[in-house]
Amino acid sequence: MERIVKLSCILAILIFIDLVATLFWVHAGWAVEANPVMDFFLKFSPLLFVLGKLGLSFTGIYILYVLRTRFRKTILNILLGLNLIYATVCLYHLLAMLFLLT
């Protein structure tokens, strides 16, 4: 159970990093939002984008947390996969930032 909570916290941090980096890239004019749902929110306002991203992400994390006792192994695998995906996205943001600095 403790691993699920730790992975959920790590996922929340990675989501927040992606959120901030995405806003930076899009508002600098160097990128577009790849996710059509989030792009829909971003077209209206950055605040709606932030609320949508955090609302959808944390609702998903909460659902996984609630189901953690019934589907422990499945939830653990889902969280591992999501952490891997978001870690890759954050690495992509970091490499792009490093590219700009050089």
pLDDT score, position 37: 92
Q: What is the predicted pLDDT for the residue at 102?
A: 84
Q: Is-contact 26 42, C-beta < 8 A?
A: yes
Q: Determine the pLDDT at residue 100.
A: 87
Average pLDDT, the chain: 94
pLDDT of the residue at 101 = 84
51 Cβ contact partners less than 8 Å away, ≥ 6 residues apart: 41
Residue 52: predicted pLDDT: 96
User: Which regions of the chain are under pLDDT 50?
Assistant: none
Per-residue confidence (pLDDT) for residue 23, from 0 to 100 = 96
Count other C-beta atoms under 10 Å from residue 67's C-beta. 14
83 contacts 11 by C-beta, under 8 angstroms: yes
pLDDT for 1 equals 61
